[in-house]
Structure 1
């Protein structure tokens, strides 16, 4: 079991397999995209499997595959198949924008993937194009339908943005009436990769809840699962539920059980730090398993208390300006 220096259990890895994406959501990256990583800079599947195998031995029980968009990387299903066979891994999940995902759903079901986070910021095709810069709304909705058809749990991730999709909050919650989906509204964060100064949060978790409560006065708070990053709510008679993730307010740091590995192998023990160790470099230097384990334990034992401290301790980036695509959603 991995425990950090604040007594928090660490059993969840978010692994980004690529920085590339087939959408251009303005809150994640500039419209022209990023300076994409070269193949040599990316971790290979073999390197990722090696580090995942080691981390599962150390106590990681859940792995979420993210990006960028995972399904733009070639042979992703072969890698997922290998991961699904790791002894000791209890849960394999994926975060996707859904553009390319629908054809893979039957195979994901066979691999034992029980839950998928699907990014969906609006139920309107026009606003979808305005937010993402791409006309892919129909493909995303097809992915949701396929996931539900195959009995895979669907969590819809919606970033709440002033002047962009506020009018979608109520319709998205209404979706939970007939569909067994969980809609999670996420505070906007300063990870869009264009170097602009983040001017602050207009829609925090309190205001989002007020908006939802105005449309659904009967909404009730329900118990939050262990390690939950969302405040969770149920509307009587609805098949699904709603949640709010205070991603910028960072109210859930005290129970954080997760670490991240970026596409280039940077280990982040907090979304807001600037990378504490490059695991890919250790592997390519042919470090032994015990050396890597000891190095990892040292990093876990110097973890920031919360996201605010992690941001204050940043060295490489003065302030938070990198793209979420380079971090791993």
Structure 2
């Protein structure tokens, strides 16, 4: 087992395979997009495989592939197949926007993909277009159907945005009525390439839950899974569940077991930190696996207690979530 300086286990790596994305979501980046990394600054698949192998030997057992959008990078499926064979790695997951995913779902199921987080902020085509600045809702819904057909667990991630998709909360929640879908509503964060969109966050996790209770007065809280970010609920008679993630309020830091590796190889031990280690530089300077292990252990021994402490030790939070890694 691998622990940080606050005695929290570290078992989960969020691995960004690219910072590029085929959408321009309001809560993630400006309409003009962001300046993407040159190819030589992005970790190669071989470098990622080596990092995962080292971390798996240290105790990391779960990897989630993120971006940007993972499927905009060529060669992703062969990489996933090699990654799934990593000794010590027992769970492979993905976060995707679903636009390019459908043709790969059968292969993902064959590889044993444990779950897919599908970004979906509206079921209304016009609002989806407004939020993502692309008209791709039919493709995303096609991916959702294929994932369900192949019995891959689906978690829908919907960022709640004032003035953008409040009318979508009920239609999205209704997806869980007859299908085994976990619909999670997420507080908006300032990782959009611009900084906070609002002087004050109005749609907090408390308000989101209050809104859900107007639809489902008998909403029941379910026991929390270890290290879960979402508070999970179920409406009577629903097959799936509803979740609320306090991503901005940060109520779940005390049980956080996650670390992140950006596409350029920066280790983040907290979503809100500014990056604590340039792993790419280590790899390309000839570091051995023993060197990597020792350096990782040093970084984990200085992990911030929570997201507020991490944020206090850096300049203003304003980078895109695509740069951070989902």
Residue segments in structure 2 that go unaligned for 5+ positions in a row = none
Contact map agreement 2:10 2:259 (CA 8 A) in 1: yes
Contact map agreement 1:96 1:119 (CA 8 A) in 2: yes
Contact map agreement 1:282 1:292 (CA 8 A) in 2: yes
Alignment partner of 1:215 is 2:192: no
1:236-295 deviation line (CA, Å, top 9, x unaligned): 110101000000000000000000000000000000000000111100001111111111
- The residue that corresponds to 1:182 in the other structure is 182
Alpha-carbon distance in structure 1 between the residues aligned to 2:198 and 2:91: 35
Quote the offset at 1:173 in angstroms.
1.0
- The residue that corresponds to 1:320 in the other structure is 317
Alignment partner of 1:172 is 2:172: yes
- The residue that corresponds to 1:282 in the other structure is 282
Alpha-carbon distance in structure 2 between the residues aligned to 1:159 and 1:194: 17
Alpha-carbon distance in structure 2 between the residues aligned to 1:32 and 1:197: 16
Alignment partner of 1:67 is 2:67: yes
Contact map agreement 1:266 1:279 (CA 8 A) in 2: yes
Quote the offset at 1:87 in angstroms.
1.4
Contact map agreement 2:189 2:196 (CA 8 A) in 1: no
- The residue that corresponds to 2:158 in the other structure is 158
Quote the offset at 1:80 in angstroms.
0.4
Alpha-carbon distance in structure 1 between the residues aligned to 2:90 and 2:36: 32
TM-score by length of 1: 0.98
Does the C-alpha gap of structure 1 residues 198 and 277 become closer, same or farther in structure 2, counting only changes over 3 Å?
farther
- The residue that corresponds to 1:2 in the other structure is 2
1:48-83 deviation line (CA, Å, top 9, x unaligned): 001001000110010000000000000000110111
- The residue that corresponds to 1:49 in the other structure is 49
Alpha-carbon distance in structure 2 between the residues aligned to 1:197 and 1:108: 36
- The residue that corresponds to 1:12 in the other structure is 12
Contact map agreement 2:19 2:37 (CA 8 A) in 1: yes
Quote the offset at 1:198 in angstroms.
5.5
TM-score by length of 2: 0.99
3-state SS of 1:273 partner? coil
Alpha-carbon distance in structure 1 between the residues aligned to 2:102 and 2:176: 21
Q: Which consecutive segments of 4 or more residues in structure 1 shift more than 3 A?
A: 195-198
Alignment of 1:1-329 (within 5 A): 1-195=1-195, 199-314=199-314, 318-329=315-326
Contact map agreement 2:268 2:276 (CA 8 A) in 1: yes
1:82-105 deviation line (CA, Å, top 9, x unaligned): 111011111000000000000000
1:188-230 deviation line (CA, Å, top 9, x unaligned): 0000013567622110000000000001111100101000000
Alpha-carbon distance in structure 2 between the residues aligned to 1:165 and 1:172: 10
3-state SS of 2:18 partner? coil
User: What RMSD, in angstroms, separates the aligned Cα atoms of the two structures?
Assistant: 0.9
3-state SS of 1:3 partner? coil
Does the C-alpha gap of structure 1 residues 100 and 201 become closer, same or farther in structure 2, counting only changes over 3 Å?
same
3-state SS of 2:88 partner? coil
